[in-house]
Structure formats: C-alpha cells, structure tokens
Chains A and B, each alone.
Chain A
Amino acid sequence: MHRKEDARFIRGRGNYVDDVRLPGMLHGAILRSPHAHARILSIDTSAAEAHPKVRAVITGQTLAGLNLAWMPTLSNDVQAVLATDKVRFQGQEVAFVVAEDAYSARDALELIEVDYEPLDAVVDARRALDEDSPVIRDDLEGRTSNRIFDWEAGDRERTDAIFAGAEVTINQDMIYPRVHPAPLETCGAVADFDKVTGKLTVWCPTQAPHAHRTLYALVAGLPEHKIRVISPDIGGGFGGKVGIYPGYVCAIVGSIVTGRPVKWMEDRSENLMATAFARDYHMSGEVAATRDGVIQAIRVKVLADHGAFNGTAQPTKFPAGFFHVFTGSYDLQAAHCEVTGVYTNKAPGGVAYACSFRVTEAVYLVERLIDVLAAELGLDPAELRLRNLLKPDQFPYTSPTGWEYDSGDYIKTMRMAMDIAGYDKLRAEQADKRARGELMGIGISFFTEAVGAGPRKHMDILGLGMADGAELRVHPTGKAVLRVSCQSQGQGHETTFAQIVGHELGIPADDVEVVHGDTDQTPFGLGTYGSRSTPVSGAATAIVARKVRERARLVAAAMLECSPDDLDWQIDESAEGRAGSWAVRGDPASRKSMQEIALAAHSALELPDGVEGHLDAVTVYNPPNLTYPFGAYICVVDVDPGTGQVKVRRFVAVDDCGVRINPMIVEGQIHGGLADGVGMALMQVMAFDEEGNHLGASFMDYLLPTSMECPSWELGETVTPSPHHPLGAKGVGESATVGSPPAVVNAVVDALAPYGIRHADMPLTPANVWRVIQGDPFRTDLAIP
C-alpha cells in the first residue's frame, strides 16, 4: 500500500513547525557565544531593545529571575538555557531577541554587546582529566575536575583471567568521531502562552512530546494539564530532536513576556553547533582468542566526550547507553568495559543519529576488532565470523554483559549476504587486482542491535518508565482512530500502525486514522527514538486492538444470542482489505463482521451485564525485554592510491527484524541508514581547533552523502521473529546506521592491507586515506598539531 503520509507531502501540504503561523506571532533569534570558554563580564542589550521592531531581549539574568537560567538535562545534569556566568562552548546561547519578523530579530542580535574574558578551552577529551586542565563546570558545587562519571559492566576478573592465559591477544585504539544527525529540518518551536486560560501550547518537532510536556511542567512550574505540546510533521529527527533545547525555553519565555506567540527557528549552523551531537567515543579494545580463531573475551576502555553539559539522552541507569552490548553477535566467555565520561568545551549531546543508545559505538568496536583479529590470525574475516557467531539454539542468549538476546539465526543471514555479494568471487577479483597493484576492499559487518527500550523496571528517562500507551476507538460505522504516544519523523507510523490495527481487527488500514504528536489527544508515552516504536508502541497497538476484538466478541455474542465462548475469529483474506468477523463455531454462516459489531455496540442492542457498549480500549505496554534485530552487511570499495578517494562500488545488506509489518517501509529505512553509514565512514566529522572553534558548522564543511556517493543498495531479508513481541516484530530503523559504518571502514582498511595497515579512523576522506597510505595518519577530530 502507499503511505498515507505521502498524499500531503508530495503536494507541499505537510505541516512542519516553521509552517505554523499564528495571529500576532513574533520571531525569536539567539545570540551565540563566539568563544568556546569565556567568562561573561557584561551584556549590553540597550541598542537591541531600542530597535523599532524588537519587542523583548531576554538574557540569562532575565531567566534567572524566573529560575529558568538553567534547565535539567536527560542525564540529570543541568544545562545553561542562556549563559549567566560563563560560556562553555562555541555557539552556546547567550541572549534571545524577540522581534516583529525574523530578519529584524537577526539584525538586533548584532546590536547586543557582550564583554567576554576568554579562558583556556578543553578541546581534546584525552586531556580533559589532566591536572592543569581548566574546570569547565565550576557552576557545580564541589567539582574539581572534568570527570562526569566512571561506569563499568561485565566481569573484570574473569575477563582479565582469560586474557592472562590467551594464546592470541590483539588491541586496537579507535575513535568514533563526533558527528551530527543533521536532519534536513532544523529544530525550532512556536510557543503560545494564553494569559487568560493560563494554557501554554508549544509546537515543536519533538520526538518525545509527552516527555517534553512533563519536563516543561517540572522546569517552568506550569501545571501539566495547562501545557499542550504539538509535534507536527517532522522533517527528520534521527535522535537530534529528543531533548529540550534552550531555544524552546526561550520561545516559551518570550511568549510569556510579550503575551504573543513566538516562533524560534534555528538555522543550519546553529543546528550543527549547538544541538545534540553523536558519538565522540575514544575506544581502546582488546580481544583474547585461540590460535584457530575462537574468540574468548573482549576488554574495552572508553573515554566519552560529552561536551560542556551532560545532556546525553539515555535511560537513567545507563550513562553509556547500551554500549555494553559490544560483545556483538559472538559467543564469548567473558567481557568487561569501563567508560569514563568527561566534560569538554563543546556542545552537549552524545546519544543521537540512530545510535540506539550507543549501539553504533559498540558494533563499530567489535566489528573492527574482529577484522584486526582476522588480520592477526591470517584468517578471512568472513570465516572468523562464521566460526564465532551465536547458533540458533543458543537463544534466548544471555551475553557476558547481561543482555538477553531474544532470537537469531545468524549463520543463515551471513550466508545469504555472502551469496548475494558473491563473496568468493569478490575475493578472487580482489586477488587479481592486488596482483595488478589496484586497491579493492571487501568489508563485512555482522551486527546485533538492541532496540525497544524498554522494560520499566530497568529503564526510565528522568524517572518516566519507558512504557508506551495506545488508545483505539472504533466508530459506529466501523472506521477507527488509533492514538499512540510514539512520534513519526518520517518512519511511516501513520501507515504501519494503521496496518497493525487493520491486521488485528480485519478492517482496511485505510479505515484507521493514526493520531500522534499532540499531548492533549494521545496517551502518555516516551516517543520515538532507539527504534522503539515497533517494539513498544507497535506492541501496544496490537494489544489494544486485541482488547477491542475481545470486546467485539461480547457484542457479537449478544447479537448472535450465543455464548462468547462459542465464537471463533475469522479473517476473510479474499475480501477487500481483509474482512474480520466473529462466527459461531461449527456454523460459519452465522457471523457478524467488525463493521456490524461496531454499529451494534453503539445501538439499542441489549448488552450483557458489565459490557458498557461502544467499541474502544486503552492499554499501556511495558515490554518484557528489548528486541534484538541483526544483519549481515558486505561493502565493496575501490580506493584510488594516488588520491586516496574511496568509491563504494557495492553494498549488500541482509537485515532480519523479525516480522516485517510493511516491507516497503522497512527497506526505505535500511536505505537511509546505509547512506548514513557511508557518510559517517567517508565524509562526516565535527572537528575542533585548539581554541575550540567548531570546524564543521555548515554543510560546506560537514559533508553529507549525495546521490553520487551512494551506490544502489542490494538488500536481502531473513525473518527470525521476536518470541516476546505480540507480532513477532523487532525494531529496524537504526540497524543500517549501526551496522554499516564498520562494513565501509573494514572495506577501506582491507583495501589498504597491502600497505600493512590495520586501522584508520573515520572519516576516511581522500586526505585521510592518502595520509594513511603515506604512513602518516592524523587525528580526524582535531585540527591540533
């Protein structure tokens, strides 16, 4: 079926936040810090205030008076909304101007005079804990260093013991550089505070509208029932639109101060400089194995650069997200990781860009280590993986760091990818090319994802359990409306969730309207990120539809004058849009369709005691476990030894996300994620110079793949259902972004093997590859000599 969403988008009739226009609406703009680290001595706003079109200028002092100069982050830290004491990263919010139009607001920014006293900046995370490193967070009482947290997982003693006795060990340091999700639509908000009713309405492209509402209530002291967050159509999120940004708070305060609606839209540079970055993990990994290639243990140390405020979005008990799923798809005896988070003079973030809470980093680490081990052992990297992949009968499998993988048939999936790629032929072609001095590389990544956060006993965001609600109402004529707490940013929920209801109730998906993104209209839940929509809200949707179906059974029994126990659910697949009905057992002609039942449920039909009439239900789904989709990816690259340019010639991706609700949409999700992987591996980095200047703050420097850098993707599919999910479906949205970067890097490093190279850090730009070939690699994340 076509996507329901498309009809409006192809006509330019989507409703994105910058399309929102309200009577009397004003426009805000943010003055940002030119310094990475500097004390604020004074801010003079008088000239800006005198601008004829300016209606308000808000500074940190204004906000301090409202107790809003600082706001809590998703990591239980605090973040400056507008800087009061000092600025801590370049691009940080310093003042907010509200004017009659957006151009005037920007004009007025230039009229604000800020007197800064520059301070030394902490740019290199590896030096953040040095004795002489300036303390960035002197606002926090008792802080004497830039250390945010130390966290560990796994069994240290057992891991160390295996390493001590191992036949072979390898180690490899690697950087997963700071990148940015860069959704094409930037962040923004329209805030409208109605002084008469006391109600605040905020239009905002948030991936988690209900969580935003609760946080606004906690932060601003407004009652939660007087806050309505509307997340309209979102032009891509990719994790960049989970948290609350200072601009949102400024727009709200601007509306409260002026009594008029205030729109704030950031531009691209602001988006890249100040909203949630992704990755920035400095990882040191080791593998212990036998000489014949049995992997026994992995040991990891990570230094995590979190920027100036710990705004990382992850469940409360997981300061490094789900990084400890790094043992990947392999049967290990033990594993251990230590993660240290540090402050630096950079923007906050960390968890974003389809990372599934740091699974990108985990998968990159293990899949690179496997290749380094293969090189050490002289084994083909596919063969090494096949020897160590978990077997189907091991599931549910408890990993050495405590994850319980739900299901998997890894070798089948791996073999399918190798068949599609023609793996043996590729290796033969590579041997021929190497003999001729040409650089061709084949890279493999076999990943296990961990998505669908999550069981509320382990997982919460600022105390809000990660369960999701669903409400389903069938109208008298048999059409339905489903209200869900997840929030599409292009993933097609309006279509696929209607399909789930249609599947469960035997009504056409076109007859199901999916409502999301309006906190006044939808049940509470934690939103869409971490590929959690299908695992959590998808499950909620199936459950609520089944509740309605059971209610329909009672109504049908009243209609047919029989016991509900005598009824069987029937689906007529031949009917248009699948017709569902309850039929008398042994007498299938005596039946009532869902449409007939819906009408009867609203009619004068006498219903049994306890059956209230109408046809609706509510549920909250608390997942028993995550889902663990997986995949086998093979990338083929050609590298020009003269220029270092990498051409991705082929990319084979076999994904297994269990039952596919809509194969067309699943494939589109994978295509997009594969492009992300090519971009991260070859092009994207947010580098900084030694003063903390952001060197990737526009699309001139922060390069995203175009149609020219992406090959035509070759997909395959296996289906290993999740046993605990009502539909057998697993999440998939982030799989390709998680799985593809190591495949590309492994391919490039494989191409460079004739030079004796075992690792090179992303992004593998022509300049970087060329330097690597010369034996002179450099830190891609820093422009510091």
Chain B
Amino acid sequence: MQVTITVNGLPYTREVEPRLLLVHFLRDELNLTGTHWGCDTSNCGVCTVQLDGVPVKSCTVLAVMADGHEVTTVEGLERDGELDAVQKGFMECHGLQCGFCTPGMLLTARWLLDREPHPDEGTIREAISGQLCRCTGYENIVKSIQRAAEL
C-alpha cells in the first residue's frame, strides 16, 4: 500500500506492506534510527514517538495507520540548531546513560510539558510509567523533566 506520512514536518510517500510496524517504517524506510525497538509486547516504550502530538508506542502502530498523520521523532525535537528544553534538561541532569530509552522519554516529556508546563513529581512519574529505563533508576529523568520545565 502507498502511504504518506509527515515525519518531523516533511511528507514521505512510500509503498509499504500493511503489516509493517511504524517503528520499522521510521527506522528502515526513513533511516530515522533514533526511535528504538526494545520489546515485543508493547511494554518498554523505547519506540515512543508522537502521532499528531500524542505519544504512541510505534511498535504497536502499523505504518498504514499513520497514513495522512503527523509523526514527531527525536530527530525532530531540535529546531534550527536549538535543542528542545527537554533535550537540555536530560543533558544537564544526567537523565540518560546508555541512551537507549532516551528518545522515547524525550517525546513523552515534551508532550507532558506541552499539556502541563509545571508538573509535580508524581505527575512526571505517572507520565513516564509506560517507559522502562534500565540505567537511571528514573530519579534523574524526573529531575531532567523538572529542569526542562524551568527552561
């Protein structure tokens, strides 16, 4: 099937199999490899992107379902050479180690701060609870998002 998906503001038209997962469309068709793949049961959230501004696990979305929609990936966070506040917050507060969960965390954090500019710790923890991190123990991710809210 032919799909046209707008990714980070640019439209991409591709011929895809109906079974192709969005995560693989982004990684393999568009070479946007910031979006990762960490499990096969929709638990880990390292594949999280924004679909029309809402975080989704792209391993649980077919590429054809994104036809005509807008996707934002980690590669789209930086604008005109300026890092997004969430990117700065994670860097300043050591909110990442191996970096594998980071892209997904950043997109959820961006969504959260768009809806709620100054979330408390409980709100942040709940917002990222669909995303696993094996390195940070979450503490600095919470701080990173709080820092991003200040920036």
Binding site for B on A (CB under 8 A): 2-3, 5-14, 16, 18-19, 21, 102-103, 182-186, 233-236, 238, 267-269, 489-492, 664-665, 667-676, 698-700, 704, 706-708, 710, 712-713
Least CB distance, A241 to chain B, in whole angstroms: 11
The answer to whether B44 has its CB under 8 Å from any CB of chain A is yes
Question: Hey, which chain B residues are within 8 Å of A18, CB to CB?
Answer: 27, 33, 36-37
B 11-34 binary contact with A (CB < 8 Å = 1; else 0): 000000101100010010001111
Closest B residue to A13 using CB positions: B34
Inter-chain contacts of A673 with B (CB < 8 A):
137
Q: Does B3 have its Cβ within 8 Å of any Cβ on chain A?
A: no
Which one of A268, A668, A707, A710 lies within 8 Å of B94 (CB-CB)? A668
A21 near B137 with CB under 8 A, answer no
- Complex: A671 Cα to B134 Cα, angstroms: 10
C-alpha spacing A667/B103, complex, angstroms: 22
B139 touches A671 (CB 8 A): yes
Indicate if the CB atoms of A707 and B100 lie closer than 8 Å.
no
Q: Is there an interface contact between B19 and A103, defined as CB atoms closer than 8 Å?
A: yes
Q: Which residues of B contact A674 (CB under 8 A)?
A: 137
Please report the C-alpha to C-alpha distance between residue A183 and residue B38 in the assembled complex, in whole angstroms: 9
Residue in contact with B138 in the complex, picked from A12, A13, A710, CB distance below 8 Å: A710
CB distance from A52 to the nearest CB of B (A): 14
Docked complex: B95-133 residues within 8 A CB-CB of A: 96-103, 106, 121, 124-126, 128-133
Min CB gap A63→B, angstroms: 27
CB distance from B102 to the nearest CB of A (A): 5
Interface pairs (7), CB distance under 8 Å: A14-B100, A186-B38, A490-B97, A490-B99, A699-B44, A706-B129, A707-B126
CB-based closest 8 A-B pairs: A12-B34, A490-B98, A9-B99, A235-B100, A671-B137, A490-B97, A12-B74, A699-B43
User: Which residue in chain B gives the minimum CB-CB distance to A678?
Assistant: B137
Query: Would you give the shortest CB distance from B42 to chain A, in whole angstroms?
Result: 8
Contact B133 A708 (CB under 8 A): no
| Nearest B residue (CB) for A708 | B129
Query: What separation, in Å, do the CA atoms of A708 and B129 have in the docked complex?
Result: 6
Contact (Cβ within 8 A) A185 B139: no
CA distance A21 to B94 in the complex (A): 30
Closest to A8 in B: B99
Whether A268 contacts B38 in the complex (CB less than 8 A), given A5-B99, A6-B91, A668-B94, comes out as yes
Q: Please indicate which of the listed interface residues B43, B125, B138 has the most CB atoms of chain A within 10 Å of its own CB.
A: B138
Are A21 and B100 within 8 A (Cβ)? no
- Alpha-carbon distance between A21 and B78 when the two chains are bound, in angstroms: 24
CA distance A492 to B142 in the complex (A): 20
Q: Which of B33, B43, B125, B139 contacts A12 (CB 8 A)?
A: B33
Which residues from chain A contact B78 at a C-beta distance below 8 Å? 11
* Contact B126–A183 (Cβ < 8 Å): no
B126 (CB) vs chain A CBs: closest residue: A708
| Cα separation A102 to B21 with both chains bound (whole Å) | 12
Contact-size category for B: 35 or more
Q: How far is the CA of A103 from the CA of B23 in the complex (A)?
A: 13
Is the Cβ of A712 less than 8 Å from the Cβ of B75? no
In the complex, whether B65 has a CB less than 8 A from a CB of chain A is: no
**Which B residue's beta carbon lies closest to that of A492?**
B97
Q: How far is the CB of A664 from chain B (nearest CB, A)?
A: 5
Kindly state the separation between the CA atoms of A235 and B37 in the bound complex, as whole angstroms. 11
Contact, CB under 8 Å: A672 / B36: no
| CB–CB A12/B73 < 8 A | yes
- B121 — nearest CB in chain A belongs to which residue? A712
* Per-position binary interface string of chain B over residues 45-82, scored 1 when its CB falls under 8 Å from any chain A CB and 0 otherwise: 01000000000000000000000000001110110000
Give the complex CA separation of A708 and B40 in angstroms.
22
A708 to B121, CA, bound (A): 11
A7 to B87, CA, bound (A): 9
Residue of B nearest to A15 (CB): B33
B33 to chain A, nearest CB (A): 4
With A12-B74, A665-B94 already in contact, the answer to whether A236 and B100 are too (CB < 8 A) is yes
Q: Are A184 and B36 in contact (CB under 8 A)?
A: yes
Apart from A668-B94, A671-B136, 9 more pairs, CB < 8 Å: A3-B94, A6-B96, A12-B34, A183-B134, A185-B98, A490-B135, A672-B134, A675-B136, A698-B40
Residues from chain B with a CB closer than 8 A to the CB of A2 are 91-92
CA gap between A649 and B96 in the complex, in Å: 24
The reply to whether A675 and B138 contact each other, CB–CB distance below 8 Å, is: yes
**Contact call A668/B39, Cβ cutoff below 8 A:** no
Which chain B residue lies CB-closest to A182?
Answer: B134
**Within 8 Å of chain A (Cβ to Cβ): is B141?**
yes
Q: A267-B40, A713-B137 are in contact. Are A9 and B33 (CB under 8 A)?
A: no
Q: Distance (Å) between the CB of A677 and the closest chain B CB?
A: 10
Q: Which residues of B contact A12 (CB under 8 A)?
A: 32-35, 73-75, 103
Q: CB-CB < 8 A to B46: which residues of A? A: 184
| Bound-complex Cα distance A493 to B131 (A) | 25
Do residues B99 and A235 form an inter-chain contact, with CB atoms below 8 A? yes
> Which chain A residue lies CB-closest to B39?
A268
- Shortest distance in angstroms between A236's beta carbon and chain B's nearest beta carbon? 4
Across the interface, which residues of A come within 8 angstroms of B130, CB to CB?
706
Chain B CB within 10 Å, residue with most, of A183, A492, A700, A707: A707
Known: A9-B99, A11-B34, A12-B33. A712 touches B132 (CB 8 A): no
Residues from chain A with a CB closer than 8 A to the CB of B141 are 707
Q: Which residues of A contact B99 (CB under 8 A)?
A: 5-6, 8-10, 14, 233, 235, 490
